[in-house]
Amino acid sequence: KKKTIIILNMSTITHFPNKPSNPMAQTLIFFWVFVFLSNTALSQSDEFVYNGFKVGGNNNISLNGVAEIESNGILRLTNDTPRLLGRAFYPTPIKFKNSTDGKAFSFSTAFAFAIVPEYEKLGGHGLAFTISPTKEFTGALPSQYLGLLNETHNRNLSNHVFAVEFDTVKDFELGDINDNHVGIDINSLASNASVNAGYFINGNSTRQELNLKSGKTIQAWIDYDSAKSELNVTLSLSSVKPYFPILSFHVDLSLYFDETMYVGFSASTGLLASSHYIFGWSFKMNGQAQSLDLSSLPSISRPKKNNTAFTAGVSVSAAVLMIFAIGTVLYLIRKIKNTEEIEKWELDIGPHRFSYKELKQATRGFRDEELLGFGGFGRVYRGTIPNSNTQVAVKRISQESKQGLVAFVSEIASIGRLRHRNLVQLL
């Protein structure tokens, strides 16, 4: 696929069998042979198709950074490691401008890609189709600069860098519209035009949203019409190119292109990381690039993640929560059962209610040593209220008492309202 250099010697034509003796005929033969071979050489460098990538081919594609071609023929620009960059470029430069009038040529490209984030819905950072005067980007940074520029070079008119980005992180410094957009970048990663990622179903003008971080294979078409100075970006989840582009931008790329440029891809990761894959790629100058048949391209093999630790953690957490919930319920039931019912008469007479447990503790279990005497319907004990050292007299109603609750309530009511300096106050 290297560009062919053709050198013809007029003397070789003289050795053709049945050569024409007319010098004019020899000149015409030379002319047409030159045109044929020149066109062959031009087609080799100005049009190419990758249905997957050749592993270990030195001239197949130029790789830089962490970019690699996997054994299944997939080009992987970055893995899911933070703050990395990877690039892949067609190995030889392509003529993008007419040397006579300096007008940029039309071009078209199609490629299939996928972005698989380390954490679902959290991309990092994106990839870009790039046209640049060089394959080497000295000082370029990962993260929001996608391995193309850095803070110093960003917005520098001498960059001559053109890119269409597929960005999965919203960067406020660069004015990104969201974390799922397509942008057209010229000499800067601050997009000249951008739109939320989406596509149109073929023959339908209804727009469909598209998640760049879904891990699905997406085909992108980028077409530049030199006569109209119009750049179109089209996306789809199928092999068929939709009629409507998702992004259209009026621009004369003659102002930014050098005569010869390199074409390729660059991707990067930031604090969060994604694996950026290219499955196939076609490119053509002054014509329509071949659409890719997605079914014939290599695909990502995604082994199921080992969720043993996650499952165990969830199970243990669920068990702990279950035990806690059961314990809470049992505690509340016990508390309710042990809650003594407040009688209506208690609200009327006003004395403080003590639980039986408190009174038993105060009288040391109603020991005989604490017995003070006998009342009308029970025994009276000396006691000390816990935590207050308050001395009290506790009457314990006898089960054999015949006076019943009425007598008890009457006594409590009368004593509860008495106030005298020589009488012990009813608590």
Instruction: Report the alpha-carbon distance of residue 72 to residue 300 in Å, rounded.
Output: 9
Instruction: Report the alpha-carbon distance of residue 46 to residue 97 in Å, rounded.
Output: 12
pLDDT at 255: 96
**255 plus 314 within the same structural domain:** no
pLDDT at 258: 96
In residues, how long is the chain? 427
In total, how many domains does the chain have?
4
pLDDT at 5: 38
**318 plus 192 within the same structural domain:** no
Q: What is the CATH number of the domain that holds 368?
A: 3.30.200.20
**30 plus 57 within the same structural domain:** no
**308 plus 379 within the same structural domain:** no
Interior angle at CA 67, CA 64 and CA 70, nearest 5: 135
**265 plus 357 within the same structural domain:** no
**20 plus 80 within the same structural domain:** no
**27 plus 101 within the same structural domain:** no
pLDDT at 397: 76
pLDDT at 391: 82
pLDDT at 373: 84
DSSP SS3 for 80: coil
39, burial (CB in 10 Å: exposed 0-12, middle 13-18, buried 19+):
exposed
Q: How far is CA 369 from the centre of its chain?
A: 77
Contact criterion met (CB below 8 Å) for 130 and 112: no
395 belongs to an annotated ligand binding site? yes
Instruction: Bin 365: left if φ > 0, else alpha if -120 < ψ < 50, else beta.
Output: left
pLDDT at 56: 67
User: 356: domain range?
Assistant: 343-427
In degrees and rounded to multiples of 5, residue 313 shows phi and psi of -60, -45
Residues (pLDDT < 50) of the chain are 1-17, 35-44, 304-306, 345
**383 plus 236 within the same structural domain:** no
**31 plus 57 within the same structural domain:** no
In 3D space, the residue among 124, 110, 106, 252 whose CA is nearest the CA of residue 186 turns out to be: 252
In 3D space, the residue among 33, 59, 164 whose CA is nearest the CA of residue 108 turns out to be: 164
Instruction: Bin 169: left if φ > 0, else alpha if -120 < ψ < 50, else beta.
Output: beta
Residue 269 structure tokens:
């990761």
**132 plus 259 within the same structural domain:** yes
Question: Pick from 339, 366, 386: which residue ends a domain?
Answer: 339
- Cis ω on the peptide bond leading into residue 420 (within 30° of 0)? no
pLDDT at 126: 96
**150 plus 197 within the same structural domain:** yes
